[in-house]
Chains A and B, each alone.
Chain A
Amino acid sequence: MNTMTTSERWFQIFNNVLMILLGIICIIPLVHVIAISLSSSVAIMTNQVTFWPIGLNFFSYEKALMDSRLLNSIWISLQRTALGLLLGLLVNCLAAYVMSKGGGRDGIAGYKFFVGLFIVAMLFNGGMIPSYLLVTSIGLYNTMWALVLPTLVNVFYLILIMNFFKALPKELEEAAFMDGADHWQVFFRVFMPLSIPVLATVGLFMVVNDWNEWLSGMIYMKGENIPLSTLLKSLIAVPITDASDAAEAAKLNNRAIRASQVLIGALPILLIYPVLQRFFTKGIVIGAVKE
């Protein structure tokens, strides 16, 4: 550090500038769309808006949020995300707890069989059409469960949690077993409280995936049960023409409304992003550590 040559110093400056530029490139599309969503119709139509709103107003958000379909779809998305998070953590953690015990004295018979079952499920699947036919044939079509259940078990998360469980000190559970605890008590009172970092990481991944997922909403849901991401997908494709009068039509701008719809869809992700960012690097590294 004390002996930097001139060329190294130039490299440092050049590199820092390049990194800042890359950082800017990654958020500039978002900044531009935010500016569009907050600008006046005239400024957008004459292409004046770049990175700062011109003629600041919230009309496009009002218009977007007046749409009852949008509000309804937000409610559906919140439900599926909450269900996916709670059930997903429970089911994957329970399985990870069992799999972390292995096939020996503390574990289960048929351990190898279950490893195979999960690994094959991770590597291979029936594909889009058989899955679609199954979900519709067992009566899940147009129910919340069609959005939640098919993707609930995630073998990647299961492995991440399992590796974390394996790394926990063995003495803690042994002490609990000595005191007469059974597996359920050890799971809920020892493992879960100690696993907050990995639970937070996996939980945040689940929230992001469930909130962003749109395909199953498109093929399994209809009418009032469509989640937000699916609704956005269909809204973005069609122009908005339902101005109620001439005065509104003058203020109404398709690009602004579309921008605000897109941003409403991204808002929850942007809100949890600071927390997300703190956890995921740590969590991945934790989960990847093996004995």
Chain B
Amino acid sequence: MEKAASNIEMLTRKRGRIVRRKDSWQLYIMLLPAVILVVIFTYIPMGGIVMAFQEYKPYLGILNSKWVGWGQFEFLFQYPDSVQVIWNTLRIALLKLVFGVISTLGFALLLNEVRKKWLRSAVQTFVFLPHFLSWVVLGGIFREILSPDGGLVNKALVAIGLEPIFFLGNNNWFLFTVVASEVWKEFGYGSIIFLAALAGINPSLYEAAQLDGAGKLKQIWHITIPSIVPTIAVVLTLSLSQVLSAGFDQIFNLYNTLVYEKGDIIDTFVYRVGLVDGNFSFATAIGLFKSVVGLILIVGGYRLAYKVADYRIF
């Protein structure tokens, strides 16, 4: 009886206010750990952003350090190294974006045409694997196979009569290696989202097209591609937000002083300027520039994805 009464009570509203369950206070306790952690480790550091407008000295702290306004940012856009680093980041990120989408999409389309089920799952097992290996491990592996003396790849190049290439020591080849190794690592895993979209296409469309005498290519062009355009749009727009993070883990594990000219990116630069050289304010300013541009792009991309493909997170 008591329970029935409280149920009725739950359903009533007092003066337009929602009357919640009596034990709803428990929900706040359940939410508390996550909220505390987010506030401490994400929101409090956001306050540290004021350092970007200061000449921060560790012994003075944030409260007493000298205020320099936009000084760090003026320096950022005049200092040749940081301008170079911004261009490097954009170059690497855009190359990765273009070749990444092409390779993932192409792979998904071709894998979708494989009729033998066992072959399909065997191929998936192999191509998904690199995604789960860390760049520390892959850095070790690539240093070995790309080594100019006796590395597997150079051995193959010499065998077909070419000169060995110093992949990780030459600026242009480093750029190539970074993009190629990223494509190699992610094309399989990235294809999951396209494969899911492809699996959702109504098979009767293909049957109808076959009856009309459409060949394989025509079917792909007129049915497959249009059906997954929304997915492509979502992937493209959401990855736009990555144009200022060209892959810290990867670059940091592959680069060296020889290839700073084209291989140094914002995040590796922030690491060296801030944590190695101790220039906290300048590093924070660069980091802030990156975060703000990234935020604008992700919000813009998200809105675009919502408009184009009706994509929403919540």
Chain A interface (Cβ within 8 Å of chain B)?
Answer: 1, 3, 7-8, 11-12, 15-16, 18-20, 22-27, 29-30, 32-33, 36, 47, 50, 90-92, 94-95, 97-99, 101, 104-109, 114-115, 117-119, 121, 123-135, 138, 149-153, 158-159, 177-178, 180, 182-184, 187, 208, 211-215, 219, 229, 232-233, 236, 255, 258-259, 261-262, 265-266, 269, 273, 276-277, 281, 284-285, 290
| Cross-chain contact B18 with A105 (CB below 8 angstroms) | yes
The contact size tier of chain B is 35 or more
| Cross-chain contact B132 with A32 (CB below 8 angstroms) | no
| Cross-chain contact A126 with B123 (CB below 8 angstroms) | no
Say yes or no for B291: interface residue by CB 8 A criterion: yes
Distance between Cα atoms of A262 and B312 in the complex (Å):
40
Chain B interface (Cβ within 8 Å of chain A)?
Answer: 3, 10-11, 18-21, 23-24, 26-28, 30-31, 33-35, 37-38, 40-49, 51, 107, 110-111, 113-116, 119, 122-130, 132-134, 136-137, 139-145, 150, 152, 155, 184, 188, 192, 196, 210, 215-216, 248-249, 252-253, 267, 270-271, 274-275, 280, 283-284, 287-288, 290-291, 295, 298-299, 312-314
Q: Which residue of A lies closest to B134 (CB)?
A: A212
Given A25-B184, A107-B27, A266-B133, A123 and B299 contact (CB-CB distance below 8 Å): yes
Distance between Cα atoms of A132 and B123 in the complex (Å):
41
Distance between Cα atoms of A15 and B123 in the complex (Å):
12
| Cross-chain contact A11 with B216 (CB below 8 angstroms) | yes
Residues of B within 8 A of A284 (CB): 192, 196
Q: Which residue of B lies closest to A23 (CB)?
A: B126
| Cross-chain contact A273 with B136 (CB below 8 angstroms) | no
| Cross-chain contact A125 with B155 (CB below 8 angstroms) | no
Given A23-B123, A255-B144, A184 and B26 contact (CB-CB distance below 8 Å): yes
Residues of B within 8 A of A121 (CB): 38, 42-43
Q: Which residue of A lies closest to B153 (CB)?
A: A29
| Cross-chain contact A108 with B287 (CB below 8 angstroms) | no
| Cross-chain contact A266 with B137 (CB below 8 angstroms) | yes
In the assembled complex, the CB of A62 is this many whole angstroms from the nearest CB of chain B, namely 19
| Cross-chain contact B152 with A129 (CB below 8 angstroms) | no
Residues of B within 8 A of A177 (CB): 21
Sample 19 A-B pairs with CB under 8 A, ordered by A number: A16-B114, A20-B123, A91-B33, A105-B11, A126-B45, A126-B46, A128-B267, A128-B287, A129-B48, A130-B49, A134-B41, A151-B41, A211-B134, A233-B253, A236-B143, A262-B140, A265-B137, A273-B132, A284-B192
